[in-house]
Amino acid sequence: MLGTIRKESGGTRGASLPHPDETRETFTWDIAEAMLDGLPDGALNIAHEAVDRHVAAGQGAQVAIRWLGKGDAREEITYADLAERTSRFANVLKAHGLERGDSVFGLMGRVPELYVTALGTLKAGLIFTPLFSAFGPEPIRTRMEIGSAKALVTTETLYRRKIAKWCAEIPTLKLVLIVGDEAPEGCVALAPAMAEASPDFETARTMPEDRALIHFTSGTTGKPKGAVHVHKAVMYHAISGRYALELTPGTIYWCTADPGWVTGTSYGIISPLVNRVTMIVDEAEFDLDRWYTTVEQEKVEVWYSAPTAIRMMMRAGDDATKPYDFSGLRFLASVGEPLNPEAVVWSNRVFGKPFHDNWWQTETGGIMIANLAAADVRPGSMGKPMPGIKAGIVERTSTGVKELADGDIGELALRPGWPSMMRTYLDEQARYDKCFVDGWYLSGDLAMRDKDGYYWFVGRADDLIKSSGHLVGPFEVESALIEHEAVAEAGVIGVPDETAGEVIKAFVTLKPGYTPDEELERSIRGHARKKLGPAVAPREIVFRNTLPKTRSGKIMRRLLKARELGLPEGDISTLETDET
């Protein structure tokens, strides 16, 4: 294990909340509720909490979104602007006959209209679903069908390329809004419609249990599921942003997640705005120099990213970080995949702060297990359960589940009851019901808790490898591999073997300047054997230019495995990179 990173103090700076360590046992949801305003008669609306109440409290002039367009375009949107634009948008929906509970889809990159669409839809009491703009026509269509889309907001290019052909065949779809001044036949241009609409709208009095968002899972393990979330989730977005991301009013915050998946909404829109931060939104995709420049010039204080991006930074090396001043950063966090210990140590060295890993899922709606600012970081660990969250490690038995002891590997489970938990999977009630056994929500991930209460990710239940009587999690092997100087990324699977049951096979990508040859393969295998022991080290290493990943940046081990075994590839609608 790479040593602990100790913290002397810090955490939830300037916050009026109890310290997370003190409140872990005594926590009640009243603490989260007190962070919100609410609406008359027990109503609660995410858009009101994220935008309008700040304006009512005299903070309308604060910048909510500082948008950096591709190239040098820039736009600053204040809370007052956002309140007005979302009201206009809500009026546009109403003018076209959309009603409370209808479903609105957003398909676009990180443009200001995306934020207006998401929040304006919620303000009007409708349900918002984001989609990845990089999706092909088929994944878009199936999701719109499953979600009974009534309206779609997209760009002209995306519409012509991906939607136009089949759009008339979606029976529920009434309205296609196109970002900009003009729209193709049958669609409505958003800019003029907004200009004509009234800037006043009375926020819908949604109730806490009313549906607000539908998020499709990443599809890493199979067909994506549509997780249904309600307005009450905002309670959890408020408090988890404070505790796990250190978001306080005025913080300059940058979440790099794609808006097409849950992180892009929970922590790319709602949580930061509820906590009245100034969000940096960068329209461009990952580009090392641009990212480092943005952190420096925008004076980013809190940065929330993902292992795939962090590994790209590591791949470029320490020297690439040297020209930049990162002293404005005060908290860094990562989600989406296991964060290799090497990445934690590296970031601590080059940024002066480590990336803090946290764990959650589309289903949980918010961060469940986290390394908090105030706590020591054990590189490679996901941290501890958040205040208000009760987690356990369990084993399924023939009659239910049994809790396991510290140090044992089992399924990571949570006691339901936090506000942002999904309420069902769309049209798949049975699949949803199967997630709950003996009062636990079973996550499908395997983990271990150490004696000090830190949780360690082992792998997806489906990805676990059984080799010569050992249970091996791919994460452990991948982390050892990327400690080798030549390795940038690694994906590890088990392949059937007559004597061992399964043997471990690794697919790796290399850092620039290394040649994929036999000598290097031997060197990497030797390194892995030394770190992991012969039983757990990969038997074979294959060099690849890229690893197959979902659009949310997750390595698709099931695809590596299916191809290895010549099995059907299954649902690959979310597949992004894929070259051999």
Give the interface with ligand ATP as residue ranges (CB under 6 A).
217-222, 224, 261, 335-339, 357-359, 361-362, 382, 443, 445, 457, 460, 552, 554
Pure H helices in 41-109: 46-47, 53-54, 79-95
> How many angstroms separate the Cα of 325 from the Cα of each of 290, 347, 350, 420, 490?
13, 14, 10, 37, 30
Q: For the CB of residue 364, give the shortest distance to ligand ATP in the complex, in Å.
A: 8
219's contact among Mg ion, ligand ATP, none, with CB below 5 to 8 A by partner kind, is ligand ATP
224's contact among Mg ion, ligand ATP, none, with CB below 5 to 8 A by partner kind, is ligand ATP
Q: For the CB of residue 45, give the shortest distance to ligand ATP in the complex, in Å.
A: 25
Compute and round to an integer the Cα radius of gyration of the chain. 23
**Contact string (CB under 5 A) for Mg ion, positions 215-254, x = contact:** --x-------------------------------------
Task: Compute the distance between CA of residue 274 and CA of residue 1 in angstroms, rounded to an integer.
Answer: 37
Closest CA to 354 of 367, 341, 366: 341
Which amino acid, residue 404?
L
262 or 329: CB nearest Mg ion: 262
508 or 555: CB nearest Mg ion: 555
Q: For the CB of residue 129, give the shortest distance to ligand ATP in the complex, in Å.
A: 14
81 or 363: CB nearest ligand ATP: 363
DSSP string, 454-513: -EEEEEEGGG-EEETTEEE-HHHHHHHHHTSTTEEEEEEEEEEETTTEEEEEEEEEE-TT
Residue whose C-beta lies closest to Mg ion:
217
Please answer whether residues 363 and 500 qualify as being in contact, where contact means their C-beta atoms are separated by less than 8 angstroms.
no
224 or 538: CB nearest ligand ATP: 224
336's contact among Mg ion, ligand ATP, none, with CB below 5 to 8 A by partner kind, is ligand ATP
Q: Using CB under 5 A, which of the segments 28-36, 214-222, 252-260, 468-476 binds Mg ion? A: 214-222
Number of residues binding to Mg ion, judged by CB under 5 A: 1
303's contact among ligand ATP, Mg ion, none, with CB below 5 to 8 A by partner kind, is none
Q: For the CB of residue 187, give the shortest distance to ligand ATP in the complex, in Å.
A: 30
Pull the structure tokens for residue 90: 């809500």
Q: For the CB of residue 297, give the shortest distance to ligand ATP in the complex, in Å.
A: 29
Task: Compute the distance between CA of residue 219 and CA of residue 119 in angstroms, rounded to an integer.
Answer: 25
- DSSP class of residue 377 equals B
Closest CA to 48 of 370, 302, 316, 270: 270
Q: What is the helix (H) or strand (E) element at residue 370, kind and residue range?
A: strand 369-370
**Unique residue bearing structure tokens 């958040």:** 386
193 or 382: CB nearest ligand ATP: 382
Please answer whether residues 178 and 187 qualify as being in contact, where contact means their C-beta atoms are separated by less than 8 angstroms.
yes
48 or 551: CB nearest ligand ATP: 551
221 or 321: CB nearest ligand ATP: 221
431 or 466: CB nearest ligand ATP: 431
Q: For the CB of residue 457, give the shortest distance to ligand ATP in the complex, in Å.
A: 4
Footprint of Mg ion (CB under 5 A) = 217
